[in-house]
A and B are shown apart, each in its own frame.
Chain A
Amino acid sequence: MRILLAALLFALAPAPLRAERPAAAVPPPVAAEAADYKKVLAEALLAGKDLPPAPAESAALRARAAELALGRPEGKTPAAFEGEVRALARDLGLDPARTGRLVALLGARARSAPGKSDSSAADKLGAALKPEQGLKLQLSAQLNAKALGLSQVEALPGGQPADTPSRGAPAGQPLPPALGKPIPPDPQPGLRLKAAPAPKQPPQTRALGWAEIEGVVDVGEKPKGWLDRIQYELAPYIARLDKPEWREQRTTRKALELMQTTPEGREVLRQLVDELGPKSANKGAKVQVRSEDFGERSSISMRDGVEGILGARGRARYTMDLKTAEYHYSSKYLEFKDQDMATSMLAGNMAHEFRHIVNVAQLMRLSPDEAIPYQLAFVNEQRARQTGYLVAARLNKGKSNDYLNEANALNQDPDAFWDDIKRSPSYIRTLDPAEMKAPLAAYKSRLEALREDNQETRENISRNLPRALDAIAVLSKKEGRGKDVAELQVQAAAMLRSYPEFLKSGEEQERLIGMLVAQLETPKGQEWAAMLAKAGDSTAFQRYSADYERDRRTLAQVLKAAPAPKRERPAGSLTWEQFWAAVKESRAKHPEYWAEFDKKYGKD
């Protein structure tokens, strides 16, 4: 009977569970017997803890409990809600005292209905930390998501705040277990479930057909009329026939095809179909993929003979219920001379942004309480980066590009790489699981790092960059090496132009993080710290961390087999290392060239 029930559970499980299992039969998750489960469920409800997974016969009971645990929805009278809670308590076999406690506990929670904007979890987070007069800091998911630069959580038209889940609690499926390894049930209230280890390899799923992809990704519509269709098909070969929107579509399609040639790309696309496709609760939702002109924030760069994007490459924007989801990439990709390079880099960026969307969709389905703290989880970015870098590494055809360069940098020293990522404005508020357990200490450390960085930027603006430019001028005019230092001159001048704005942004972040630290030192701020600490223990975050760790090792193997190509400086163009060596040589041979320079900057 158990085996039959397990087979039924397995058959009904969402696709990711099936996709990740081997062909051989896998033992089902071990769950408590029904009578024991009621006790375990009751304890979890009363303690305000995560509800444990249920055996098949108790699944409906768990679903009722999870729904009621969200609190009284607006529109339902307190009396009606209390009646439902009492009925649940009766089914759980609670005595009158504990029934009373459950009624009081759940009755105190008020949940907003769709269409109304008020106390979402994020607003509660913000409200708990509403600053004293004069301070404007709102620690809502919207602010943090925006600050993170990962995605923007926006209100839908009609006023529903995007960070309010518009559905009830999920049915309570645990995260997919590792191959053959069940997640053990929580035998005692208060014990934390350990996350199952990640599967050893990403699922080697078949490539998706266009029908499946277009069911969840809106790449734009092909023209309908037969004459227009002929023109559309001929456009890649006859430039005169082409239109900008068709060119965009072809680029998007090509990037999707390239993604699918990699196991990580297939995995994220498959998971996107699982979360948004026809068999999902989000049926009908699609990720709109378009190019976008990011203006001055994005431009084509040429470094060491390789085209790249300077600045914004792409962004994902979505509402937490995924009714709106879009990925826009820089329109500069369409202007690359080397379109193979453009689509290859785009495939990596697209996989990265899709990973953000997939993970949030999974959390909203499995554990919506954790979807909001996830916006502050550093593993959110780590996971997305790994996906993008793996796609880029697998598409490596021996030509260097920015993505490969980053993948290589990560592989050289992951700890140092991530530490430096955490210092940048987009991610400075994000925390890894250890930091979530001590957020005040983590943010104090970030604040110190920010102050150090801002001071460095000030010194670069006031002295180091002008000094470098003056040294370039001496080598150029006095030593006749203008051509050799031309690229360095462009780099240094661009940095000097943009650093004041960069400093302004850094100082703003310093102010905000300072305010955040001050808030966390208040009693109300400590409530939020406690919520973060709980999120740090989340099985979902642990699972994503394990996935990241698996992908990190895979990246090391991929790069070992096919190292990222090094960037070669065009002949005659100096690197910074060579430049300063040339300065030293020039000083020794012609100190008179450097007299004015030394007067200005000293002889160091």
Chain B
Amino acid sequence: MWKVIFHNLWSRRKKVGWIFTELVIVTMILWVLIDVSAVFLYNKSLPTGYDNDRLCLVNIRTYSEKDSISKKEYATEEAYNEYIERILRKVKSYEGVENASYIFTSWQYLGTASVQNYYMKSGNEAVDSLIAPIHVMRFHPNTNYFETYGIETTEGSPSPEELSKLNFAWNDAVVTEDVAKRFFGKENAVGKKLFFIDWKKDTIWCPIRAVVKDVRHQSYRPNCALMFRPWTKIENYGYCKLVVRVKEGVDMGDFLNGFEEFTNKELKMGNYYSETVTTLNDIIKKSENNYVTLNNIALILTVFFLINLCLGVVGTFWLQTRSRVEEMGVLRTFGATKWNIRAMLLGEGFVLSTLAAFVGCMLYLQIALCTEFVGTKLAMSLAYHNETNLMDSWILHFGEHFMVISLLCYAVITLTVLAGIYIPAHSISNVNPIDALRDE
């Protein structure tokens, strides 16, 4: 049958040439679109490393010191520290609250991210030569930070509850599994040290107090090298967020209704006041909105091109069924079943889409060798800096990345072509051989 299929395609090469050209061009366009979507969706599917269910954030602001409502006696470091602790205790005592912590940040939701990347070293030259910048997340010790977020520690590290009781020094560090593996391989990193050179050119050693499971600090960003370092004092009182974990079994909607009223009335202490209460899931949805939109646009354009492809295939093959009626009639006369006819036509579509997808992917490869995959660029831009910062995955390996996306493109194109051919194939396979041969 394959011989017949190839022969048929070759003999009608001028007619199927249009479809073949379109398939090649669409393959190349879809490669870019599928690349963007695949990388984004893959990153989103990775575990975050924390539990965002039943978590909400309360924005706590301070009155401006220039306003009359602000009291001078509350505008001292001691007063700010004391009142935020009082607020935290009050929130913890609210019915339905399992745990609570606080972070000081205006835009993150997992802690204050350091905009700089730290170039950490272990002292082992072989490892340090593969240096990667590490993204630093700040947390406040003794505030149940890890338990509230549901960040788990690994074997050989203190538990999250034990971490809350630890006295952290300003240079201590909690690293993720990925960072521990990069520097120390399979050895337990707890107790070991990393160092960096600060802006004064001093060497700062950071003892590792614990290793936590890999954490993605924003839902749409890929996993990158991350460590947690403690704040020993509050730097910016104006941007506090209380992180509240609600007890299991408590309805979030009901909880938020009562809790918002509670925060408006009760969380006015010192120069602090409560502004809003939002669930972490809502904040995550807002933060990833732009990338979700980009992904949606890529998917819509993919659907657009596939519909066009399907229409073209249906139209072209349907118009050709008229001229192939006698051929099918002869085949039926010689014992071919309806399924044989359909299989032959579907086989033609399969060969066409396979050849076109191969040519299209090879042509795109030439472009990709000169530039870079759009998906990889997207992943790196989302990671803030460069690919050494990212956790190893198929996205970063050229060969693997090319194969994965090419296979996805091939599958999508082939399914579309087969779907488009099935309708005319079904129609022509049902033709009566006598009617088909009448005009012969």
Partners in one complex: no
Residues of A within 8 A of B (CB): none
The residues of B with any CB-CB pair to A shorter than 8 Å are: none
